[in-house]
A and B are shown apart, each in its own frame.
Chain A
Amino acid sequence: MRFRVERQHPHAGGIKVLHEIPHITPCLLEGPNGIGKTLAVHLLELVAGGQPYLADPQLWASLKASLGPTTVTIDNLADDRSLVVELDPDRWPDVVGEPLGDRLGVARLDGAEVPASTAAKLLSVVRIAGTETPAETVKRSMSATRARLVAASAAVEPRIAAVRAAMGGLRDVLRDLDPAQAAQLRERQRKAQERVAAAAHAAEETTRRRHKLDEALEARAVLSAREEDRRELEQRLKTVENDLKAARADQARLGREADEAREQLVRGGVIAEQLASAEKTLQGRLRRLSNREEEAEEALAQVGTPENLEGELRRVVAELASARSHRADLDTGERAERVVGQFLAAIDLARRGGLADDQVLLNIDGRAVTVEQLADLLRARAIELAERPIPGAVERLDAGVSELEERRRLLQTAKERVDARERQRVLVDEQRAEVSRLRSQLGPDVQERLQKLLADLGTADQRVLELAREAVNLRTLLADRELASRPDAQAAMDRLLPELAIAIDDLDEAAASAQREDEVAETALATARRDLNSIEHDLRVAALAAERAVEELQSRRDLLALTGMQNGDGQLDAVAVERLAAAVHAVDGRLDDAANGLAALAEAAGALAAGQLGGGRLFAEPFVAAAGEQLRADLDTPAIRQVLFDDRPLRELDLRARVLRWTDADGDRRERPLDAFSTGEQAFAFTQARIRELEPPAERDRLLVLDEFGAYVSADRMRHLAEFLQEDEVRAIASQVLVILPLQVNYANELGETRGQLRQRYQARVDQLQRQGYITVPLSELV
């Protein structure tokens, strides 16, 4: 490719740009400082979609301000194409780091306008600076690795998802299977079965022991029996039977008494109700008595509370009659008034009864007086009499009579109220008597008595039971004594005690203990059986799930094809589907591992790139080892060995310790810190390593620029580098290589000292310098 850079204003902004890189590869470019060699390369990097100013925002700002419109022409691209890009810095982003994309400027490919970002698809520009340190190489190498892993991871993710999706059908069929759980259950079943067997065995043992102890107790009983004992037993039995009879009688009596008390309680209930009612009535009567007393007191107070009320009343009534009579005597007019009134009343009555008004009633001195006339006369007279003035004595007597009438009335009221009070008192007394009678009928607390009777009855029952039991025991003993023989009992005892490993004195305790142990063993056995049942139930459920899965799977040829399993021939059964479920789970795990593995590796690479080599992170150790090994391998080339390691193989690159190790010709182990390599050595070794990292560009051209090497690489290393750059390995990753050096020689001065081919070369260089200010020649001239 041929690259040309033309600025609209070549000298503006105080910067210069190299204006041509010829179509030579590999090409050596020598020139003095300040002619814009690196700037030209950076511009090409920008055109090719890179951003060389990522770490230099200030330089970017300066470039943007100073460059001005610039045209970059690239000829001899693949397929003989030509690209012209007119850079427009005014459109470039202020913030470095954003991809330029189409804001680069205006582009034309073979004359036709295309988006400026097209250039990135056609051209790659890689610049390697000789000022780089090994640490930066490691960092970049790790960054590149990380990028590859991230890309691979991103590409792999949808594919993993596709595989999982393909597993979807199987998962559905196997959804209820949990092989891990089934395996666990089977293990638990086995253990539970063992426990049941052990518990059954233990229960059997304890039962056997208990039976032996019972037998020993029996034998002891026989041995301890004597003839005297028998009589004693019989006597005892008789006593017990008598006691039992008495106890039964007692029991019956208490029973009867309790029944009576119950009845009384019931009756008492009725009387209690009556008593409550009577008390209520008494309360009412007392209230009314209180009212009556109050009324009587009030009435008596009004009449002055005489000692003998009746007497007083009688006296007032008599006095009143006397006063009235006296008055009547005093006031004849009153009599006349009365008579007239009576006559008038009789006439009116007769008139109403049909007596005619014109009926003659009287003849007075020949004058006939009719009914009506007589009535009128009588009426007039009544009025006269009524209007007559009452004599003073009569008036006074009237007043007295009024008073007496008033007093009589009050006395009468008082008497009535006193009578009412007395009547109420009687009622109250009657009611009190009734309440008293009912209370006496209720008697002492029947409930309490009943409780006591019941308690006594319980005791009596218990006694009867015990006595009955004792009687039975005694009868049994007596019966046994008739049948059991002493020698047999002794033999049994002699056999049993050693078997039981106890002394005869410990027999009772051992029997009690054995009873308890037997119960515990039975309980343990029941528990163990329950556990086993539960586990077996779970296993049955799991087996059912497996059977169902088998059925489903049998109908799914597509899934069977996936698994490689056959239907029929008994190959597809519950065991097989369980294995299949485990396999699905395993595949899932592997897919996870793969995805996570890539991600974790990418992360480890990123950490390494950032200089964080700390352990503990997943894959940190092997990654560091592998990265170190890769870099070692990259450095372990004949050329590098020869110049750096005494032509010996490089044993190890320890990234953690940052040392290189090799064994020298004398067999001694050598090591040197990475940072201790001279810059010249670094440049050579690491440049090679970096170049090897490059990916081949996909059907694009790539310009590989080695810049600023001159200060660091000695002449012989330069030759090795030049040889390396011409190898097929490098050709595969870059269609054009450019090595930029400062002027190595004062060619004009040296011209006179050279002859032949070298002189020709120098001359050509002098010419170039004069013409364009820098030299561009094939790199092979160095070799």
Chain B
Amino acid sequence: MTPESGRSPHLDSATVADADPAIADRNFARALEVVDQVAAQAVDPDERRILTAASDLLRAVGGRFEPGPVLAKELRRALSR
């Protein structure tokens, strides 16, 4: 008897995920959780930087997405440094 993976088949297909914003959002939400959890444990500065970028980006592009505003925000953030 094999253990059930417990995961939704929807997660296997990015096409489905994209077609279903709710699923995409859930993926993002759960992925974001994982990213944030790992980032909290990261000590290495490079790892931390990458994870922070991944976390920020997930928040920015998850759900309803418009590339322009995301880019503008990123640019302004970079310019303000």
Contacts and interface: CB of A to CB of B under 8 A. Distances in A.
B26 A159 contact: no
A129 B14 CA distance: 29
Interface residues of A, number: 83
Given A155-B28, A166-B71, A618 B47 contact: yes
Contact of A695 (B17, B26, B51): B26
A163 B38 contact: no
A251 B79 CA distance: 82
A596 interface: yes
B75 A626 contact: no
Interface stretch (A119-127, A204-212, A359-367, A717-725): A119-127
Contacts of B75: 170, 562-564, 580, 583-584, 587
Contacts of B37: 626, 629-630
Interface string B1-45: 111111111111110011010111011101110110111111110
B2 A563 contact: no
A113 interface: no
A564 B56 contact: no
A502 B10 CA distance: 92
A582 interface: yes
A151 B27 contact: yes
B1 A129 contact: yes
A160 B61 contact: yes
Given A152-B28, A698-B20, A597 B51 contact: yes
Interface residues of B, number: 58
B23 A619 contact: no
A42 to B, nearest CB: 8
Contacts of B53: 590-591, 593-594, 597
Contact of A49 (B5, B9, B24, B47): B9
A149 interface: yes
Given A131-B1, A148-B31, A601-B35, A562 B14 contact: no
A162 interface: yes
Contacts of B41: 621-623, 625-626, 629
Interface stretch (A138-146, A276-284, A320-328, A475-483): A138-146
Interface string A707-736: 110000000000000000000000000000
Majority secondary structure, B binding face: helix
Given A151-B14, A597-B54, A54 B2 contact: yes
A148 B23 CA distance: 11
Q: Which of B38, B49, B79 has the most CB of A within 10 A?
A: B38
A153 B11 CA distance: 11
A56 B31 CA distance: 31
Contacts of B78: 582-584, 586-587, 590
Given A593-B49, A593-B53, A695-B7, A152 B58 contact: yes
Interface string A748-771: 000000000000000000000000
Interface in B40-69: 40-44, 47, 49-51, 53-54, 56-58, 61, 65, 67-68
Given A131-B1, A156-B61, A590 B56 contact: yes
B49 A148 contact: no
B71 A695 contact: no
A55 interface: yes
B38 A623 contact: yes
B74 A596 contact: no
Interface string A618-654: 1101110110011000000000000000000000000
A677 interface: no
Contact of B27 (A132, A152, A170): A152
Given A129-B1, A622-B43, A626-B41, A587 B74 contact: yes
10 contacts: A147-B7, A159-B70, A160-B61, A562-B71, A564-B76, A598-B35, A598-B54, A695-B7, A696-B26, A698-B22
Given A159-B61, A597-B53, A619-B42, 20 more contacts: A126-B6, A127-B4, A140-B3, A147-B12, A148-B7, A148-B30, A152-B28, A155-B27, A160-B57, A563-B72, A579-B79, A590-B78, A593-B54, A598-B35, A619-B51, A625-B41, A629-B41, A690-B6, A698-B20, A707-B1
| A-B residue pairs, 6 tightest by C-beta | A154-B14, A597-B54, A152-B31, A594-B57, A583-B78, A593-B53
